[in-house]
Chain A
Amino acid sequence: DGGITQSPKYLFRKEGQNVTLSCEQNLNHDAMYWYRQDPGQGLRLIYYSQIVNDFQKGDIAEGYSVSREKKESFPLTVTSAQKNPTAFYLCASSIGGRQNTEAFFGQGTRLTVV
């Protein structure tokens, strides 16, 4: 079953703790992305990666970190420096390269700080 999978679906974090969100794809896509979704603000780009071992900051990267050690995986760490981390996080992937194509999304992780 091909696709992009995020885990967990729901995540609770205590203030001051780091937490890592998982994103795995078996679509053989080069490009992967992390977006944050808040009500009324659409999808805001946190980080993106065009190829293994390379990633770039998006518009709201402060307080987040990523790694891209494998083509299939692009985990996002929400650090204690992120002042308002409660949100819905979406991971996506696309073929990437010369001609941009459709981005496929995971089912999302809802993070709540308690």
Chain B
Amino acid sequence: GENVEQHPSTLSVQEGDSAVIKCTYSDSASNYFPWYKQELGKRPQLIIDIRSNVGEKKDQRIAVTLNKTAKHFSLHITETQPEDSAVYFCAASMSFHSDMRFGAGTRLTVKP
């Protein structure tokens, strides 16, 4: 099955700085790459996703980039705010397969 690796495991930034989280995947057939945010004690929720037919997607302060050749994708958060503090997970899956695999997570702390 697919194997997803995520780095770093923890990330601490000052409010207003940018944060970047990187993931790699093993199966070149994977074509859907979502990012989830999990606040303390809550369920994971989708914040942005990208499909393999595009290289970049942006939604306000959040952007995701995908490099299919290198099999890696990244989450970029600009102008970070304390409420961005959470655990972020990347994931990968492919069409007709429901076995979505997740990375180990990144604990982001935004210091005011």
Do A48 and B99 touch (CB < 8 A)? yes
- Chain A, Cβ-Cβ closest to B45: A105
Answer whether residue A42 sits at the interface, using C-beta atoms and an 8 A cutoff: yes
Q: How far is the CA of A107 from the CA of B32 in the complex (A)?
A: 24
Most buried by B among A40, A42, A100: A100
Among the listed B42, B43, B98, which residue makes an inter-chain contact with A31, where contact means beta carbons less than 8 Å apart? B98
Q: In terms of DSSP, what is the predominant structure of the interface of chain A?
A: loop
Chain B residues closer than 8 Å to A19, beta-carbon distance:
none
Do B43 and A56 touch (CB < 8 A)? no
Do B95 and A48 touch (CB < 8 A)? no
Do A99 and B49 touch (CB < 8 A)? no
Chain A residues closer than 8 Å to B73, beta-carbon distance:
none
Interface size on A, residues (CB 8 A): 29
Q: Name which of A10-18, A20-28, A90-98 contacts chain B.
A: A90-98
Do A108 and B32 touch (CB < 8 A)? no
Do B98 and A50 touch (CB < 8 A)? yes
- Chain A, Cβ-Cβ closest to B31: A100
Chain B residues closer than 8 Å to A44, beta-carbon distance:
102
Among the listed A40, A58, A98, A99, which residue makes an inter-chain contact with B99, where contact means beta carbons less than 8 Å apart? A58
Answer whether residue B1 sits at the interface, using C-beta atoms and an 8 A cutoff: yes
Do A100 and B95 touch (CB < 8 A)? yes
Answer whether residue A84 sits at the interface, using C-beta atoms and an 8 A cutoff: no
Answer whether residue A64 sits at the interface, using C-beta atoms and an 8 A cutoff: no
Do B43 and A103 touch (CB < 8 A)? no
- CB within 8 Å of B: which A69-104 residues: 90, 94, 96-103
Query: Known interface pairs A98-B95, A100-B94. Does A43 touch B1 (Cβ–Cβ under 8 Å)?
Result: no
Do B43 and A100 touch (CB < 8 A)? no
